[in-house]
A and B are shown apart, each in its own frame.
Chain A
Amino acid sequence: MPGRSDLRALARDLLRAASLPETVVWVRARAVGHTRWFHEGPTTAGESERVDVHVTAAMDGRSASVRGVAERLADARALLSEAEALARLAPKDPEHVPPVGAVKVPRVRRFDRRLAAAGPEGRRKLVAPAIERALARGVQPSGFCRVEVQRTVVADSAGLDAYDEGTEIALSLTCRTPDGTGSSKGGVVSHRLRGIDPAALGERVAAAAERARAPRPIDPGRYTVVLAPEAAADLLAFLRVAMSLRAAEEGRSAFSAPGGRTKIGERLFDERVTIGSDPADPRHPSSPLGPGGYPVRRTVWVDRGRLVALPVGRAWAARRGLAPRPMGSSMFVAGGKGDAQSLVRTVQRGIYVTRFWYNRVLAARSLTVTGMTRDGTFWIEDGAIAHPIKNLRYNESPLRVLANLVALGTPVRSGLSRAVLVVPPMVVRDFTFSSTSDAV
């Protein structure tokens, strides 16, 4: 796999060869390995490698982007020529913005050499204990392990010269009971190997599957819920999609207010809710590169329940005379103390949700989302898990969830999401379930 200097040389060559006034070049080398299995054996596994070049060329507000695999300099130059030819023919965009220029992009440390060297045999050794523990407990394990290494250079004709590199492992495991009535899922995503314990994952998920066996139906309706961090993250991820200053100012968002205003400055949520993003978080680092190579910076979006800022793209920032403010791929939600189990102890009657599935926006205006519970849903009675219940469909808005908070636990990273979502388990009142399902 090419190193930083190879990628940088390629980017510089393209900038030198460019013939239009504005050029932005991304060069990314990526190696991905995966190992997959289901309860009757391994299924697919693979190793792949590629270098992609993404060139944006522009003149007089005419712009085009071409992205392609580029194993050789000639491939990359061909992409540049194609971008320039397309840009000359492209209609003018009045909102065109020039390249980012000589902005300093901070380095984020998230490269683990041990992880980068794992290979197929390394992955086999990693996943085998999780499988063996689950099988030893008599449940059916299915799972997936992906290891990715990437190096990225972004450079532009106005002086930007940024670099980012990282490794990532995602390991997930689903255990089903042989009678087909219980299921559980757990996982971990990290930039490093340290702290990953597949055997413990196997034990934990297998035990949870047994607890989820033979669920009973309950009537749909409004309930107090305890959301595990993964479940809370599934819902709050929709805030990331909806948060846009432009959409809010143009009246096209749940953050628009009547009379052409936005909800910035309003207290929308419980005052314990503070939401920010930070690519350089030492425990949960993510890419510092935003659109165009503009740096993602640490930002607070919601401060003690009050919406204080919304992400701004470069074009809208230019029009409004603001600095761009990308959100990046992290979201940190502040919390309190304790895990989901300790929150369960505070609830008289309610439902414990371990995760959601197939979540989709149902109504953009209210940011109402629909989806299902999956892989373990439980009835809470007198501060304890009473029994598993059948999966439920919910129709609910994350905005209402954050307004209807009862309690928050300690934030942890969702191990089932590629984006860095660090979210506390939470107790929420009046959560709307609309129907049940026999799905296990």
Chain B
Amino acid sequence: MDTSRRQLLRAGLAASVAGRARLAAATPRPFRRPAADTPPASPPDRAARLASSPLAAHEALAEAAVEAARSLGASYAEARLAENTWETLALRDTNVSHVGRSVSRGIGLRVLVGQGWGFAATADLGRAVAKRLARTAVEVARAQDALRRAFGHARPVTLAPVAAVEGRWVSPHEKDPFEVPVADKAALFAEAARRALAVPGVARVHAGVTAVREEKLVVTSDGVKVHQRYVRVYPRFSAVAVDRRRGRFDERAHEAPPMLAGWEYVEDLALVDAAPEIAEQAVQKLHAAVVEPGTMHVVLAPSNLWLTIHESIGHPTELDRAVGMEANFAGTSFLRPEDTGTRRIGSELVNLVADRTQAGGLATTAWDDEGVPAGRWPIVERGVFVGWQTTREQAAWIGEARSRGCAHADAFDSVPFQRMPNLSLQPGTEGLTTEDLIAATDRGVYISGRGSWSIDHQRYNFQFGGQFFWEIENGRLTRPLRDVAYQANTIDFWSSCDMIGGAGTYRLGGTFSDGKGEPGQSNAVSHGCPPARFRARVLVAGGGA
């Protein structure tokens, strides 16, 4: 063995030790409380505060709109008062480059007339609005009902029953992010940026945080009146390393996901302590080796795997996609209603559960936008596809008596339709750790963080990147790699899953921008998972094939 090879191995050994220490470092604080079977309770005092919210003052308007629609011939009417407040803080290096707030507030009315759906929305919350809104929504519904004639025979609209309910819910949070002064928020990210910029080779830091407060009050002609408020935060931090002489650059982003939580979540991330390591890894990426392409094991950290779950399991199990309602845009699905309970799409180890009651989950709620209580139900059991995401209109399509509670509209002027619940890979029973998965792997890549993502419109063929990549050889992390992507077919990929971490390794990932529908809407949704091992085709991301 020549000297350089020995040096490389020694360096690899050091990297391996450091790599293990770092496995956990960039991972956010876990949310590991077991999920509840019933809608999550919010303390009575917090929910009571909703009674004095500005939205509650317009409750009579919502009721009047529903009534007006009924009197104009609607068989079903549903009014949604919604107020979404966003605060965005952005830093370029240590400087604040943007402080912004946005508020959208208004009322949307959805009606069913004959077999046609109609919708009308306005930001005007004046008293005279109810009748005008109802007239417009009914006019729209009549045009849709008339358009059915163009189809000859169209699918009938029937709504699964919902229990009349009146309630309030506020998502759990300790510190309202809107009450933390902007200067204090900026100071935290500026200090983290300062630490990152102290690392030689780091030329730019992008940082910031988005806080969202979403409040809505839904009133329906079926006796639903639910008022809810959600608080979500999304911290962002990334370092860009630039080698100007060689004309190269690379970026390393923190792996903290957005969360249904308050400012306490951002504080607990200890971003300032994590910053130097993020920065060092940005520089490491510049000098890392290029991966040797081929089909091999990939060990995927939760910070990477959540998005693969979202795209390859989350979207194809949306029933509206499977029946073709998204054919003109988001696409359809490789799954069909008749596959339910029979089609194997993964190995025996693979269990996936939808859960709108999960602590910290971005799609967690007490009731959906049709007043259906939040629940938890299986999507994949021991590798077999068993369950769909549905709304009241969709339940009958698969012979189910009740909606799964997946209706959601992202703003007052958006039409509610089927959106993804939190959908998570369940931990293995053997209590495996990330180290166990790596130790069992002869040759492969360990991938963490979210990188590039792309998948076809029926969710077969996908390709994902990541934030950081380690070569695995003979059960050890040997050296960092760069420009790695993995490619697979959904069923091959999940069928190859042969190791899944235990409950202690389970983490949530998530996104604010689950996109679907025309006009396009964004849904906030989380996906929990342990690390897991698969076989996939690994390729060099930057250089062609």
A interface residues with partner B (beta carbon < 8 Å): 32, 34-51, 63-71, 79, 82-83, 86-87, 89-95, 119-121, 123-124, 127-128, 131-132, 135, 140, 142-144, 146, 172-174, 176, 183, 185, 220-222, 250-252, 256-260, 357-366, 368, 370-372, 374, 391, 393, 395-396, 432, 434-440
CB 8 Å contact bits of B140-157 with A (1 = contact, 0 = none): 111111111011101100
- Residues of B with C-beta under 8 A to A437: 456, 458, 460-461, 489
Residue-wise interface mask of B (100-136) relative to A, using a CB-CB cutoff of 8 A (1 in contact, 0 not): 1111111010000001111111111110000000001
Task: Judge whether B249 and A365 touch: CB under 8 Å.
Answer: yes
Docked pose: A117 CA to B101 CA in angstroms? 33
- Judge whether A143 and B328 touch: CB under 8 Å: yes
Say yes or no: A358 contacts B144, CB within 8 Å.
no
When distances are taken between beta carbons in the complex, the residues of chain B under 8 Å from A65 are 98-101
Contact of A44 among B119, B459, B485 (CB under 8 A): B119
For B237-259 the 0/1 string (1 means CB < 8 A from A) is 00010111111111100000000
B458 touches A440 (CB 8 A): yes
Residue from the set A63, A65, A91, A250 with the largest chain B CB neighbour count within 10 Å: A91
B487 at the binding interface (Cβ < 8 Å): yes
Q: Determine if B31 is an interface residue (Cβ-Cβ < 8 Å).
A: no
Query: Is the pair A357, B136 in contact by a Cβ cutoff of 8 Å?
Result: no
Q: How far is the CB of A93 from chain B (nearest CB, A)?
A: 5
Q: In the complex, A374 Cα to B97 Cα: how many Å?
A: 39
Contact A47-B120, Cβ < 8 Å, known A40-B154, A371-B454: yes
User: When the two chains form the complex, which single residue of B240, B483, B537 contacts A252, counting CB atoms closer than 8 Å?
Assistant: B240
Chain B interface residues toward A at CB < 8 A: 92, 95-106, 108, 115-126, 136-137, 139-148, 150-152, 154-155, 181-183, 186, 190, 203-204, 240, 242-251, 323-329, 331, 334, 413, 415, 417, 452-461, 463, 465, 483, 485, 487, 489, 518-519, 537, 539, 541-545
16 A-B pairs (CB sep. < 8 Å):
A47-B120, A47-B121, A49-B122, A67-B101, A69-B106, A71-B126, A93-B95, A250-B204, A251-B242, A357-B457, A362-B542, A365-B248, A370-B452, A374-B457, A393-B463, A439-B459
The reply to whether B542 and A363 form a contact with Cβ atoms under 8 Å apart is yes
Where chain A touches its partner, the secondary structure class is strand
Pair B454/A47 contact, Cβ less than 8 Å: no
Q: Is the CB of B154 within 8 A of A91?
A: no
In contact, B203 and A49 (Cβ under 8 angstroms): no
CA distance A183 to B147 in the complex (A): 23
Say how far B156's CB is from chain A's closest CB, in angstroms. 9
Knowing A40-B151, A45-B117, A89-B181 are in contact, say whether A435-B144 is a contact too (CB < 8 A): no
What's the minimum C-beta distance from A359 to chain B, rounded to whole angstroms? 7
- Give chain A residues whose Cβ lies under 8 Å from the Cβ of B155: 40-41
Quote the shortest CB–CB distance from B179 to chain A (angstroms): 13
Could you say which residues of chain B place their CB within 8 Å of the CB of A439? 331, 334, 456-461
- Assuming the A-B contacts A140-B324, A358-B454, are A71 and B96 also in contact, with contact meaning beta carbons closer than 8 angstroms in the complex? no
Closest to A257 in B: B247
Are A36 and B96 in contact (CB-based, < 8 A)? Answer: no
Q: Are A252 and B203 in contact (CB under 8 A)?
A: yes
Give Cα A368 to B342, complex, Å.
Answer: 40
CB-defined contacts of B95 to chain A, threshold 8 Å: 91-95
A359: chain B residues at CB < 8 Å are 454
**Interface residues of chain B: helix, strand, loop or mixed (majority):** mixed
Pick from A35, A66, A69, A174: contact of B104, CB under 8 Å: A69
Give the CA-CA distance A92 to B99 in the complex, in Å: 11
Q: How far is the CB of A206 from chain B (nearest CB, A)?
A: 14
Contacts A93-B96, A120-B143 given; indicate if A47 touches B119 (C-beta within 8 A): yes
Please determine whether B327 and A146 come into contact, CB atoms closer than 8 angstroms.
no
* Cβ distance A201 to chain B, nearest Cβ, rounded Å: 12
Query: Contact at B103–A90, with CB atoms within 8 Å?
Result: no
Q: Which residues of B contact A222 (CB under 8 A)?
A: 545
Which residues from chain A contact B485 at a C-beta distance below 8 Å? 362, 370
Contact, CB under 8 Å: A250 / B203: yes
Q: Are A71 and B518 neighbours in the complex by a CB distance under 8 Å?
A: no
Nearest residue in A to B518 (C-beta to C-beta)?
Answer: A144
Residues in A whose Cβ lies below 8 Å from that of B329: 144
A363–B285 CA distance with the chains assembled, in angstroms: 13
In the complex, what distance in Å separates the CA atom of A89 from the CA atom of B334? 52
Known contacts A69-B105, A123-B143, A366-B543; is-contact A438 B96 (Cβ 8 Å): no
A344 to B351, CA, bound (A): 48
Distance from A15 Cβ to chain B, minimum over Cβ atoms (Å): 19
Contacts of B136 in A (CB 8 A): 47
Asked whether, in the complex, the Cβ of A258 is within 8 Å of the Cβ of B100, the reply is no
Cβ contact within 8 Å between B143 and A121: yes
A35 with B143: CB separation less than 8 A: yes
Contact of B151 with A135 in the complex, beta carbons under 8 Å: yes
Q: Specify which chain B residues have a CB less than 8 angstroms from the CB of A87 in the assembled complex.
A: 99
Cβ contacts under 8 Å, B463 to chain A:
362, 370, 393, 395, 434
